[in-house]
Structure 1
């Protein structure tokens, strides 16, 4: 347990943790020795010279005072180290999650990480603050008392010592029998948490279907399974708890009979027997607490194991000798990328000169968004290379690559804070004048003027207090403030109303000015602003050329234009009358994709 905790925490925390454990052991020994002084005290009080108990009572009071001081220092040290480790673990976990590839975050991990980062991390780090001291006391204090009993009478001490391996065996057996149940309970707990989140998110669908009064079967089933698992856990724990209680009781009974026998033989006085029985009762409390402590420790250990798995997951490797990009041109060189068993990008080659605007068009699932994510190195390719400024993105330091690229996605996430806080994520140290300037350029100033608190308006978790168009304007302002030379746009206007679409288009136009741009788009108004268009399907480039060139070819892009074009506000877009195909042309044959 201690080894696993140190591995999860990191070796920089080993020294303060060892000091804390040593202090806890010293405290437990002092507790046992203070109890040992009850033997001479009771022997004097119950003997013929009660006044002889006075110095022993003074010694007992001093020992209790020392124990109290040590216990205070031990508990305080445990809380302080636990708090420090908890803060360090949050930073370490956050840093690890920020380095893991986006593909690692599948749907099943969201509920697991939410539980791990909240209750799980607190439970794991509570070992030092709340569990380690009682655990040390439960083992060390009884052993100290047994050593004291051995010093007074070896027969009674040996009888008490027999209980040690029995208690240890019961503790180990209970832990092993509960291991499978603990794992199952943790899995059911995470599943139930995910179902609760699903039930809350599904409220619009349930209400639209008129099922607001019905129980949610998936959630009910999950909660029932968790109840069954909890019941099995309690039943599995009962034999161990009962066995431990019976062992403690049997030990006390054995000492009682053996002490009476030795007293009747005259080998030991009755006061000594009474004192040793008092010490035996003091052994019982920490030993009986092992059942409760053991269950909490197993829960904490399970969380530590899961935390260790996350921390040991390998992030995308950083280059040992990083290269700085020599420009802002982009290149896909025979790139292949697979997600599971599916090939998303298949031997694709494409080059984008600096300051060119490239539009990527194609049906859903064609791999358009994946191209953007490979450029930003959210994933690493399975074959080929993605280059920025002539350098492979795998050879560029993450901070340098991130500084080169600004990304605006269709689904904008805003953090729970003010509008200004979210805009400043692009460049936290930017002057206030620049922040206001980019807000004007992104048409965000119109939104701020309508809000009662203006820049100080809290957007809520995920930006829920703003509309989709307003969130998109914040995202564009953030990208403008970052002032990166490469811009990646992913369907930024596909779900906006005409008013917000027009405003966002103005912001996007300013964002694209003078930069290398790769945009994924369905709206033809966006595509027409591109210098070049590639049509992607099945992870391959089917057609490549300018908007007008592709229309004249009467290929896939032209068909897509006629089917997908939707007039924007104030525009009159009509399907194109396609010219007759040149003689000898094959309409279905794709245009060659551009090479590196």
Structure 2
């Protein structure tokens, strides 16, 4: 559809430009007739001009209408393409903050590109086709003046290309600065609760200020480069008019061209220059639009995770790691990791901070593929299952779950949009979200705020567990909150975990002592990303190894924080 609209618009733009050039050319015989005092001839030429002008008005109207339709269709196509690509991109691409880039393309960039057919392309084409028509007609009236203008065509084209490249280079720098500034501002807004406690002069303040200052410098550089380029281009165009005046004066002095014709051709020369100058002013817009299209091309070039032509089917929902090594940079987080998590059971992953506990859940969810080794579900490597199969089988429950600025029920509904409202509320009640709904004005339709700021950390995780219950996936990946929870959330999340583990393979990055000790299997990670010990809670305590020391430290810490002095021997779990 867009292609047909653009071709149709192009036809009308060319017709508009040719008719405009023809109207300019008709000024020559009209002025000649007027200067000779031939009224009848002048009226004849004026009639022809009126007919050409009427045609110009009609084609201009059609070009504008079709251009607006093409711009709307192009905007829809760009945003659809961006959204589809963001969904297809591997989660690893989002490891760096790409919010500013995506927002920039979706707003300013897409709008600018979509305006190309209506506001920019039409003017640029007219700016060159109309003078081309005028130049061709000048050969009919006086070939010598036409040659003088033709000589300047390569110079003008060279100046136009130089202008585009200069503005394009400046816009690339400016676009990068805008992306960085947008990332920092978004980050600054999201982190306000923490930043307000830091007071003025925090590192976030400096980062935002530096990013905005860098954007200001880049924009100033773009203005200087663009302004200089436009001025230079306008000077080249005016040089062609100067050359025309010199040649015309020389011919008039020599008596080889009459004054009436010379005046008419000089007026035509002025009309020849005006559309070119206007096109030069807009030429930088093409380079700016090219920056956005280049960003979309780079998104399209991001390598996706390999997908099978025919997805395999897992034998069960057990999870296996076979000699898995993975890292986010030069240093591996996991090294030669091998273990099995039985289907239908709960496996707790414990260990020191930075040992790779959350990374394991990300590999199971296929946010990444390991650098070496194999991650399997039901004995089938994840690349053979395909991302869609893995996503359907796995329900992640993160400790930093993101809630949208919508109602409680709609945030739970994300887990399975095909369910009815009653089914959503029933699943949410099993995760004790009903207590949250009753507490807030509006009940289930109460808004949770951007990122769930109206809820506590424990309440947000309850909503996340409700999503997993609603999705009813056979594998649940639960990353427990590391921070201390109040008694109500502690009990509610414990009960929700008990409900979610029934008939499911549950992988828990465990921090709660109650969760750890009730797991069918515990994997104790070492600080270097390898496995220190595996077994049940009883077996590992009896081994008196790293897990026993870890457990003793956690019991001591829990007893010191939450119970009276004699609770060291009887900690509250």
User: TM-score of the superposition, structure 1-length normalised?
Assistant: 0.88
Q: CA shift at 1:223, angstroms?
A: 3.6
Worse-matched range after superposition: 206-215 or 146-155:
206-215
SS of the counterpart of 2:534? strand
Q: Deviations over 1:275-318 (max 9, x none)?
A: 32222222222222244313222222122212211121111121
1:555 to 514, 521, 545: 545
Q: Deviations over 1:215-237 (max 9, x none)?
A: 94444444444433334334334
Corresponding residue for residue 72 of structure 2: 83
CA distance 1:55–1:416, change in 2 (3 Å): farther
| Residue 242 (structure 2) pairs with residue 253 (structure 1) | yes
Q: Distance in 1 between matches of 2:239 and 2:201?
A: 58
Q: Distance in 1 between matches of 2:67 and 2:90?
A: 36
Q: CA shift at 1:548, angstroms?
A: 1.3
Corresponding residue for residue 181 of structure 1: 170
Q: Deviations over 1:240-287 (max 9, x none)?
A: 333322223232233234334444555444333333222222222222
Q: CA shift at 1:573, angstroms?
A: 6.8
Write the mapping of 1:49-88 to structure 2, written as runs, cut at 5 A. 49-88=38-77
Write the mapping of 1:125-136 to structure 2, written as runs, cut at 5 A. 125-136=114-125
CA distance 1:456–1:272, change in 2 (3 Å): farther
CA distance 1:78–1:574, change in 2 (3 Å): farther
Work out whether residues 561 and 575 of structure 1, in 8 Å CA contact, stay in contact via their aligned partners in 2.
no
Corresponding residue for residue 22 of structure 2: 33
Work out whether residues 93 and 311 of structure 1, in 8 Å CA contact, stay in contact via their aligned partners in 2.
no
Write the mapping of 1:204-215 to structure 2, written as runs, cut at 5 A. 204=193, 207-211=196-200
Q: Distance in 2 between matches of 1:421 and 1:404?
A: 22
Q: Distance in 2 between matches of 1:60 and 1:188?
A: 51
Q: Deviations over 1:334-392 (max 9, x none)?
A: 22223221112211111122101101111111111111111111101122211112221
Corresponding residue for residue 534 of structure 2: 544
CA distance 1:347–1:251, change in 2 (3 Å): same
Corresponding residue for residue 593 of structure 1: none
SS of the counterpart of 2:19? helix
CA distance 1:200–1:434, change in 2 (3 Å): closer
TM-align CA RMSD: 2.7
CA distance 1:55–1:316, change in 2 (3 Å): same
SS of the counterpart of 2:98? helix
Q: Distance in 1 between matches of 2:312 and 2:491?
A: 40
Work out whether residues 332 and 349 of structure 1, in 8 Å CA contact, stay in contact via their aligned partners in 2.
yes
| Residue 489 (structure 2) pairs with residue 500 (structure 1) | yes
Corresponding residue for residue 427 of structure 1: 416
SS of the counterpart of 1:518? strand
Q: Distance in 1 between matches of 2:31 and 2:47?
A: 13
1:282 to 271, 277, 289: 271
Work out whether residues 240 and 291 of structure 1, in 8 Å CA contact, stay in contact via their aligned partners in 2.
no
How many residues of Structure 1 are paired with residues of Structure 2 in the alignment? 566
Q: Distance in 2 between matches of 1:496 and 1:60?
A: 83
Write the mapping of 1:55-204 to structure 2, written as runs, cut at 5 A. 55-201=44-190, 203-204=192-193
CA distance 1:316–1:14, change in 2 (3 Å): farther
CA distance 1:457–1:279, change in 2 (3 Å): farther
1:235 to 224, 242, 256: 224
Work out whether residues 99 and 316 of structure 1, in 8 Å CA contact, stay in contact via their aligned partners in 2.
no
Work out whether residues 164 and 286 of structure 2, in 8 Å CA contact, stay in contact via their aligned partners in 1.
no
Write the mapping of 1:251-330 to structure 2, written as runs, cut at 5 A. 251-263=240-252, 265-330=254-319
Q: CA shift at 1:108, angstroms?
A: 4.9
Corresponding residue for residue 468 of structure 1: 457
Q: Deviations over 1:110-140 (max 9, x none)?
A: 4333323332332333323322111212221
Work out whether residues 349 and 524 of structure 2, in 8 Å CA contact, stay in contact via their aligned partners in 1.
yes
Q: Distance in 2 between matches of 1:258 and 1:279?
A: 14
Q: CA shift at 1:395, angstroms?
A: 0.8
Q: CA shift at 1:519, angstroms?
A: 0.6
Q: CA shift at 1:409, angstroms?
A: 0.5
Q: Distance in 1 between matches of 2:133 and 2:71?
A: 27
Q: Distance in 2 between matches of 1:495 and 1:142?
A: 75
Q: CA shift at 1:214, angstroms?
A: 11
CA distance 1:195–1:246, change in 2 (3 Å): same
Q: Distance in 2 between matches of 1:179 and 1:86?
A: 21
Q: CA shift at 1:70, angstroms?
A: 1.7
Work out whether residues 498 and 569 of structure 1, in 8 Å CA contact, stay in contact via their aligned partners in 2.
no
Unaligned runs of 5+ in 1: 1-11, 578-596
Q: Distance in 2 between matches of 1:184 and 1:60?
A: 48
CA distance 1:82–1:44, change in 2 (3 Å): same
1:335 to 306, 321, 324: 324
Corresponding residue for residue 441 of structure 1: 430
Unaligned runs of 5+ in 2: none
1:395 to 362, 371, 384: 384
Q: CA shift at 1:529, angstroms?
A: 2.7
Q: Distance in 2 between matches of 1:138 and 1:561?
A: 78
CA distance 1:173–1:100, change in 2 (3 Å): same
Work out whether residues 533 and 546 of structure 2, in 8 Å CA contact, stay in contact via their aligned partners in 1.
yes
1:535 to 492, 509, 524: 524
2:506 to 517, 521, 525: 517
SS of the counterpart of 1:157? helix
Work out whether residues 327 and 354 of structure 1, in 8 Å CA contact, stay in contact via their aligned partners in 2.
yes
CA distance 1:337–1:195, change in 2 (3 Å): closer
